[in-house]
Amino acid sequence: MLRRATVPILAAAMLFASPALAQDDMAGDSSDWLPSLITQTPAEGFDLAVSMARKAVTTTQTDKTILHALRPNYSHDPQSLIDVSGVVGIYFGTVAAANDYWRD
């Protein structure tokens, strides 16, 4: 049951994989890609949440050929698209909490 729920979430998160691959190439050392969860604005926090989702996918599926081959399977699946929104939402909640919800 857990596997059945996890697979669509991971597959949906792969929607962000192509841009993440480009980011990873520019980032250099992958150990310093996330120096902080602190952002100046909620919009920056959302962008960070999307980046976190992308990084999770490329960390999970390191074979770029497989990563790109799977894209047609999940990119047209409405449930996968909904699932990826949930993943980003969870990450955004984490970033928002780390930023004290951007209270002054």
Tell me what percent of the residues of the chain surpass a pLDDT of 90: 56
| pLDDT value for 82 | 93
Q: What is the DSSP string of the chain?
A: -HHHHHHHHHHHHGGGHHHHHHHHHHH-SGGGS-S-S--SSHHHHHHHHHHHHHHHHHHH---HHHHHHHHHHHHT-HHHHHHHHHHHHHHHHHHHHHTGGG--
- pLDDT the model gives residue 17: 45
- pLDDT tens-digit readout, 20-60: 444 444 444 567 889 999 999 999 999 999 999 999 989 99
If one compares 12 and 76, the residue with the highest pLDDT of the two is 76
pTM of the model: 0.69
